[in-house]
Structure 1
Amino acid sequence: MASTSTTMEQHIAVFGGSGSGKTVLLSSFYGAAQEPRVRRANRYAVTAEDRAQGRTLHRNYLGMRDSSTVPSANRFSAATYRFVIEPSADDLPKGRSKQKAAKPLGIVWHDYPGEWFEEDPSSAEEEARRVATFRSLLSADVAVVLVDGQLLAENAGEEERYLKALLTDFHTGLYALRDDVLEDGKRLTRFPRIWTLALSKADLLPDLDVEEFREIVIGKAGGELDELRSVLQSFVEDPDALDVGEDFLLLSSAKFEPGTIDVTTRTGVDLLLPMTAMLPFERFAKWASTRQRGAQVAEQLLKFVGPVIGFLGTSKLMKSNLVGAAVSMIGGGLGSKAVSFATKKVAKVKDQAEAEREFTTRVLARFAEDLDRGVDDRVLRRGDDA
């Protein structure tokens, strides 16, 4: 099992209705990362901390690649997957084994059953399990809500029928959970603050780019999106530091044709890691610098920004507006508690081995380039690019 002592760990929560493609998406994400050519191109490896989970995901991927077999959906099954991003075997410093190599990046993927937003709980036990599962993903900074491309295509010209139902299900489901999640009604400082809408099975709508997808969602179900934003704001302290439906993504786990599955033809899947790692840094730096915030909220915002600054502090990225803004933010009037917290985090990270910092800096720089490429290809629309 891979080490769990990662220096920087980010969480992503994935929501989607039944049949929206969550299992295929996760299997495609992990399986493709195991391909030797992909590891060589990325210069990093993605490893599942739970080997049994990793084998299952890889087997699902190989079934698609070699036998054109679609993995079975895990109905009503909530799961958490932990992945470590580490130097690939070809990229290890000379004289260092894989066991001794730096493992500074971790990604945790929370999969929330879509059926729980579509159907009422069958028992008090199941209701309690839904609440406990939702609480477990509150550590995520990025949440992805899947819009099923197949259902969108089936409702061509009347997309509002599907979109309104989808967003209303999420809205009412979250509202039903709120009182149980908020202890004594106290709003949360730790909560997913970036909610991205992603079109799964985008290969079924090949002429649709991300801007057109956004226009369909806003034009056909803008009111329901506003209601979803409102209920999410009711969960979180400082609701202004929350983006719901500002970021949009096209996703296709493979190209599916009768009798064949081409796993080499994918869209947007390779952006999930960069989004999880980089969007919180970009967005939290902006939010924390826009106006004075409470100490607890500022501390949560800086909790992730601080380590990234530490890693990038000696790199050429230090000259970028993004990092410069974050450094100015830490030096600004956020309150002594938050500034002290960030300073300690940066100092701690800067004490790490140079090789570790170089690896992390390189990976984060690659992620930033990937996000820019996704925007240029009209696969990703970032809210901060508006």
Structure 2
Amino acid sequence: MAMYPRIRQQNIAVFGESGSGKTVLVSSFYGPTQVGSDTNDLWHLVADKTGQGNRLLQNYLGMRDSATTPMPTRFTNTTYDFSVKLKTGEGEEAKKRPFDELRLAWHDYPGEWFEEDPSSDEEHLRRIDTFKTLLSSDVALLLVDGQKLLDNRGEEERYLKSLLGNFRQNLVRLKDDLLGDDGPLTEFPRIWILSLSKADLFPDWDVNTFRELVILKASEDIERLRSTLAELVVAPEALSIGEDFMLLSSAKFELQPSNGEPARIDLTQRVGLDLVLPIASLLPLERRVLWEERMTLPRKVVDTLADGADVIAAALTGTKFARVEKLLRRVAKSSQQADLVAKVLPLLADAIEVVGPKLQEMNEQARSEHQYLRAMVTQFKIDLESGVAEKVLRKQK
């Protein structure tokens, strides 16, 4: 007998220098879902740790009601654990779905660790342990601080080279300890999205404007970072950096001319945060299909790359998961890579290829038939499409 609830966990790693807005972003991701301003009708977002949820909500309310930004969290590594719980769905419909609850682990890597050397052996070990906690993430967001871009207007390369160089050096310092005696890592974030935080400072920009600036000013630095990341992983050809970009803004900040402090924070004007769940859930599935179509990957890499792709695909297409499980068991008994591609890839490809009116139709049908999980996942895909269409997100092609 299956145990309930059946849980599917996704992980996302967020990297950014101190002051780049990581705490504000996660507070604005969570806060609206707790105060009645969230219009989503399919799921609740719940903080798994009550104290952590209260702190994020306090941060959000402080910004909303008194234009107070959260206190900096210096040298603090935090994993925020959220559960996405379906609002409805019982009985036979609930029994047939491939999973009941989606969990999101949001790993926040301390910004100061980009910029400063460890102060002790203990801190060095803590950095290694912290990095290891996020190795299960398929997706990493590398934040480009919009304020620092603005401060370096006309000489943006100074900031971008510093940001990318510091991060690369941080990885170089951790390399030997991460690899140990086993060599390159099989499980490691494969999708690195360059993300403009505080995008509200550039109201005339879309994601293409941001991408073109970064490539113009720092393409060689991106390539150096790619080379360093490639040294850490098995099958480095399955690695995306400098190919995915997004805009992120937690709110629109109106500043006081006298001191530059916030006079008002409009938290209704968010950018990109509604894409976090769709990106964590569906982008790894899309990228796995793309890479498997273009290259032959080692079996051990495929097994960890978007390791929830089967259940996500089943939820998206409405395929009976019992049939998917049977297929995967047959493939698992085979040592032939060709069997994996020939039998599993079409299922995953079917899930990502549905777009446009057909996707909208699937979503409406799932809602009308009370297939709540399928409605949620198809809504994620609709949101992902909208993010691309509205030029908030640009994905590898």
How far apart, in 1, do the equivalents of 2:381 and 2:343 lie? 28
> Is 1:54 aligned to residue 58 of structure 2?
no
> Is 1:303 aligned to residue 307 of structure 2?
yes
> Is 1:32 aligned to residue 32 of structure 2?
yes
Letter in 1 for 2:85: E
Alignment correspondent of 1:44:
43
The Cα of 1:83 is off from its aligned counterpart by 0.7
> Is 1:146 aligned to residue 167 of structure 2?
no
**1:274/1:370 contact within 8 Å kept:** yes
Alignment correspondent of 1:224:
221
The Cα of 1:335 is off from its aligned counterpart by 5.3
The Cα of 1:36 is off from its aligned counterpart by 2.2
Superposed CA deviations along residues 62-114 of structure 1, whole A, max 9, x for unmatched, are 111111110112110001111111123xx455999xxxxx7421111000011
Superposed CA deviations along residues 216-240 of structure 1, whole A, max 9, x for unmatched, are 1111011110011111111110001
Range that drifts further, 286-295 or 183-192: 286-295
**Normalising by structure 2, what TM-score?**
0.82
Letter in 1 for 2:248: L
**2:284/2:306 contact within 8 Å kept:** no
How far apart, in 2, do the equivalents of 1:302 and 1:244 lie? 17
Letter in 1 for 2:297: R
How far apart, in 1, do the equivalents of 2:179 and 2:75 lie? 23
How far apart, in 2, do the equivalents of 1:272 and 1:42 lie? 18
Correspondence list, 1:1-12, <5 A: 6-12=6-12
> Is 1:195 aligned to residue 192 of structure 2?
yes
Superposed CA deviations along residues 331-370 of structure 1, whole A, max 9, x for unmatched, are 996256899999xxxxxxxxxxx99x93222111111111
Alignment correspondent of 1:74:
73
> Is 1:370 aligned to residue 383 of structure 2?
yes
Superposed CA deviations along residues 122-168 of structure 1, whole A, max 9, x for unmatched, are 00000000000001100100000000000001111110010010000
How far apart, in 2, do the equivalents of 1:95 and 1:368 lie? 25
Alignment correspondent of 2:337:
334
**1:144/1:195 contact within 8 Å kept:** yes
Alignment correspondent of 1:261:
265
The Cα of 1:41 is off from its aligned counterpart by 2.8
The Cα of 1:287 is off from its aligned counterpart by 1.3
How far apart, in 1, do the equivalents of 2:390 and 2:75 lie? 35
Percent of aligned pairs sharing the same letter = 46
1:214 to 202, 211, 219: 211
Change (3 A) 1:337 1:207: closer
The Cα of 1:291 is off from its aligned counterpart by 2.7
Correspondence list, 1:114-125, <5 A: 114-125=111-122
Change (3 A) 1:20 1:302: closer
> Is 1:65 aligned to residue 64 of structure 2?
yes
Letter in 1 for 2:151: E
Change (3 A) 1:95 1:6: closer
The Cα of 1:4 is off from its aligned counterpart by 10
**1:298/1:334 contact within 8 Å kept:** no
Alignment correspondent of 1:19:
19
SS, match of residue 19 in structure 1: coil
How far apart, in 1, do the equivalents of 2:275 and 2:344 lie? 30
How far apart, in 2, do the equivalents of 1:94 and 1:293 lie? 40
Letter in 1 for 2:225: L
Q: Which runs of 5+ in 2 are unaligned?
A: 94-98, 256-262, 346-365
The Cα of 1:295 is off from its aligned counterpart by 1.6
**1:145/1:198 contact within 8 Å kept:** yes
Letter in 2 for 1:369: I
Letter in 1 for 2:58: R
Alignment correspondent of 1:99:
none
**1:81/1:109 contact within 8 Å kept:** yes
The Cα of 1:5 is off from its aligned counterpart by 5.4
How far apart, in 1, do the equivalents of 2:246 and 2:274 lie? 11
Change (3 A) 1:110 1:338: farther
Letter in 2 for 1:218: I
How far apart, in 2, do the equivalents of 1:4 and 1:233 lie? 39
Alignment correspondent of 2:285:
281
How far apart, in 2, do the equivalents of 1:6 and 1:60 lie? 32
Letter in 1 for 2:122: E
Alignment correspondent of 1:349:
none
Letter in 1 for 2:26: L
Letter in 2 for 1:277: S
Range that drifts further, 242-251 or 13-22: 242-251
How far apart, in 2, do the equivalents of 1:131 and 1:213 lie? 32
Change (3 A) 1:253 1:279: same
SS, match of residue 41 in structure 1: coil
SS, match of residue 40 in structure 2: helix
How far apart, in 1, do the equivalents of 2:66 and 2:342 lie? 55
1:233 to 208, 226, 230: 230
The Cα of 1:288 is off from its aligned counterpart by 2.3
Alignment correspondent of 1:84:
83
- Counting matched residue pairs gives 355
Change (3 A) 1:302 1:71: closer
Superposed CA deviations along residues 226-272 of structure 1, whole A, max 9, x for unmatched, are 01111111111000111012110101101111311111111111111
**2:292/2:341 contact within 8 Å kept:** no
**1:85/1:103 contact within 8 Å kept:** no
How far apart, in 2, do the equivalents of 1:35 and 1:42 lie? 14
How far apart, in 1, do the equivalents of 2:36 and 2:85 lie? 14
How far apart, in 2, do the equivalents of 1:302 and 1:228 lie? 22
How far apart, in 1, do the equivalents of 2:41 and 2:342 lie? 35
How far apart, in 1, do the equivalents of 2:303 and 2:92 lie? 39
Correspondence list, 1:105-120, <5 A: 105-120=102-117
